[in-house]
Amino acid sequence: MKRNTRQIIVALCSLMIVGACSHDHGHEDGHEDEDEHGHHDEGQSEEIRLSEPVLKKLDLQWATAKHAPLLKEVRVTGKAVQDTDKVDYVFSPHSGTIKRIFVAVGDQVKKGTPLLQINGRQLSAPRDGTILAINTTVGTHVSTVQSLVVLADVDTMRVVFDVYPQDMDIVRIGQQVEVTLIGHAKEVFSGTVRYLSPNLDEHSQTLKVAADVENDDHHLKFGMFVKGKILAPLDEQALIIPEAAVARYNQEFAVFMPGDHDGTFVKRDIKIGRRGGGQVEVLSGLEVGDKVVTTDSFTLKAESLKEQIGEGHSH
């Protein structure tokens, strides 16, 4: 954060405005590129320039305006549950006495790892996974019908959500899901909707929706309550850009596009509509194929505001 702050300060000190001559010419003619209320029209542009040292310090990334279905974020709550397809209950093929236990609850094991020794035989893990439970102790006599170890693959977790009636019609199998732990919103788990219940829960009147969620670091645990966003595409197409590309100026919005020369950028006023899934609908000001900056737009916005302040002092 300190490093980014220093970069922004350097940027503010190093940025130079181009097009000053054309601006002064507008004053001489007594014309302004504003309407009678003093507001810029959507599509209005102004050019700014970044010095080469500043450009090297910034990590500018771009996106292209495109026609695509706008995503609605269906906000849900849910719980991580045991997926029976990924949980193994380990039984001994022979009766006997437990002589040794080689693992503990929480251990991650590979297929073939020794779990228990029963008399002179070892019982091994049938798959890669995490030990969820050990249902015996050393010295205990066990039979072939007793589950001795519970082993699960927790690299991918099953999460079950409640979807309310107003959103049931747009939720589909295959849609993307973003999951966060309650109280730990910064860590996001990605997943996919895999199952829709054919029936409503008779008590809550919600639809049960199951998603498989990536859990590489194993921070998501069975029984945890979570929040989620199901990214449901709407039927109609819209001109969209990433929400990160949009800079706000009071009640107006703008994006930054590449200028005609190296190190130059054009601030383009736009009018926006709906938002969803990290995307925003553009109603006017851009066309399909237009490139916009999606990172470090704060620096560009700061320079744009600096230009406006300079113009105010010149009157």
What is the domain count for the chain? Answer: 3
Mean pLDDT of 222-236: 89
The answer to whether residues 131 and 105 touch, using CB atoms and an 8 Å cutoff, is yes
- Could you tell me the pLDDT band of residue 274, with boundaries at 50, 70 and 90? confident
CA distance 132 to 155: 13
Higher-pLDDT residue of 262, 80: 80
225 and 272 belong to one structural domain: no
CATH code assigned at 230: 2.40.30.170
- Could you tell me the pLDDT band of residue 158, with boundaries at 50, 70 and 90? very high
pLDDT at 157 over 50: yes
134 and 228 belong to one structural domain: no
Instruction: Give the pLDDT of residue 52.
Output: 74
pLDDT at 30 over 50: no
Instruction: Give the pLDDT of residue 36.
Output: 40
Query: What tokens were used for 157?
Result: 């977790």
pLDDT at 27 over 50: no
DSSP run (H or E) holding 242: strand 225-242
Query: What tokens were used for 10?
Result: 């350097």
Instruction: Give the pLDDT of residue 46.
Output: 67
Least confident of 51-55, 159-163, 273-277: 51-55
Give 95-146 as a DSSP string. -EEEEEE---TT-EE-TT-EEEEETTEEEE-SSSEEEEEE---TT-EE-TTS
CATH code assigned at 140: 2.40.50.100
Q: pLDDT digits over 37-50, tens only?
A: 334 445 556 677 77
Considering the domain boundaries, does residue 150 fall inside one?
no
Predicted model pTM: 0.63
CA distance 130 to 152: 5
Structural domain harbouring 136: 93-145
Considering the domain boundaries, does residue 122 fall inside one?
yes
- Of 211, 235, 259, the one marking the end of a domain is 235
- Of 177, 205, 235, the one marking the end of a domain is 235
Percent residues over pLDDT 70 in the chain: 78
CB half-sphere exposure, 189, CA atoms < 13 A:
28
